[in-house]
Structure 1
């Protein structure tokens, strides 16, 4: 039995916008921050729900950020660095296939918590360990993994969109991720698991073996073998002692 579509890797990408829009719609005059948006924010600003007050795009590289449309507010900072100038400014912070590239996942999530207003929400989509292609990507030297990726997916060579991946705090295991995020100050955490991927599609024998494993993992709900996750985490509306 194949993986049901709503739990397949395709659904992780398909459902990301609607899930994000649903979160944004909860906040009157919502202030939205996209992490790692650079020159190409994920959504046209006119596609966002009508209740947004601002859509800020972030990047660590000022030259990339300068190429983004002036329709967006811009915030240049390293999400694992000093973000204190922006603390408490946002109702919703989101990222899409960014957090696997962050070397210190704990620091990133702590900073995201601080960037949020009380009651705000973080929403991330990320590839997760221990799906086989991401384990391989983590273990191989970057030069070799880049060469393999561009050989299998030559169109990505033109975009030069292969970045080092660390997979720090990118685990498919829902219980593990929920515990980690709550320990650093989020109070409501929900992880939606997805299974399967397209990385082995050109290699029939490996593809079929990997699909069989992914199908079993989905059926038995072995989230640690999931391939992608939607991570939703709320900051408490009131801090302890506040």
Structure 2
């Protein structure tokens, strides 16, 4: 049985674990498979250790991270956010929803001040053209001591550099040819990507987060992806390069990142 989260008052009453300590307890591994397999687990652990019950999932319209039985089991209150009313309409019943552009000028008024304890997104940030405003809006919507968590692909991993350089129409055709589920009517459609502030290098992202209103930032890099697995020769060369980059911690060519920021 899942332990219920402590209350925010209890968390304030005793010194909460640092985010770095929580992640260390989860046995962080820089391989990209760990990032995908432990995203939900990391959020649950942070929420339980810090008493974060009021959740905002950004871009969670069609595929919420927590299903209603999980929400109830953990004692969370989850609100789904999406820019698209259509995407929100595809979510299961039982959630509060809020439609807005998370980087929009009106997002603060729509989200409200201090309404949430934790906000998180997966594979959303790369599609936001103004990431600095996104983080500023999230900070506004978080209560003091709240946590923002973003999981996203990072530059300058080769697949994302190609996606950034190739015209959208061509890159869409290429991706949908190799991965049919990425078609517009599929389970994982492709959206335009901008990669604004999509880095795992702390020097490139922490100053912006500080300006947005966050006091502590943890940036966890990951290496690896599956984009070249269907291309013999390229797959082996890319895998060898990725292995070296991971061993030497070359963040400039990481593939994904967790950014976890505390207000």
Q: Compute the TM-score of the two structures, normalised by the length of structure 2.
A: 0.83
Instruction: Give the length in aligned residue pairs.
Output: 231
* Distance in 1 (alpha carbons) for counterparts of 2:77 and 2:63: 17
Could you list the structure 1 runs, at least 4 aligned residues long, displaced by more than 6 angstroms after superposition.
none
Residues 218 and 261, structure 2, Cα contact 8 Å, conserved in 1: yes
Q: What's 2:206 paired with?
A: 178
Q: Which consecutive residues of structure 1, in runs of 5 or more, have no partner in the other structure?
A: 236-242
Which one of the candidate residues 81, 85, 95 is aligned to 2:110? 85
Residues 27 and 51, structure 1, Cα contact 8 Å, conserved in 2: no
* Distance in 1 (alpha carbons) for counterparts of 2:170 and 2:177: 11
Q: What's 2:3 paired with?
A: none
Deviations 1:121-168 (A, max 9, x none): 001110000100011111111100000001111232351601001111
> By how many angstroms is 1:120 displaced?
0.2
1:124 equivalent to 2:124? Answer no
Residues 33 and 90, structure 1, Cα contact 8 Å, conserved in 2: yes
Q: Pairwise CA RMSD of aligned residues?
A: 1.8
Q: Secondary structure at the match of 2:233?
A: helix
Q: Which consecutive residues of structure 2, in runs of 5 or more, have no partner in the other structure?
A: 1-27
1:71 equivalent to 2:94? Answer yes
* Distance in 1 (alpha carbons) for counterparts of 2:131 and 2:72: 29
Q: Secondary structure at the match of 1:109?
A: helix
| Higher RCO (Cα < 8 Å, 6 or more apart) | 1
* Distance in 2 (alpha carbons) for counterparts of 1:183 and 1:29: 23
Q: Compute the TM-score of the two structures, normalised by the length of structure 1.
A: 0.89
* Distance in 2 (alpha carbons) for counterparts of 1:114 and 1:139: 33
Residues 155 and 199, structure 2, Cα contact 8 Å, conserved in 1: yes
Residues 126 and 228, structure 1, Cα contact 8 Å, conserved in 2: yes
Q: Secondary structure at the match of 2:195?
A: coil
Residues 105 and 169, structure 1, Cα contact 8 Å, conserved in 2: yes
* Distance in 1 (alpha carbons) for counterparts of 2:90 and 2:72: 24
> By how many angstroms is 1:49 displaced?
7.3
> By how many angstroms is 1:99 displaced?
0.7
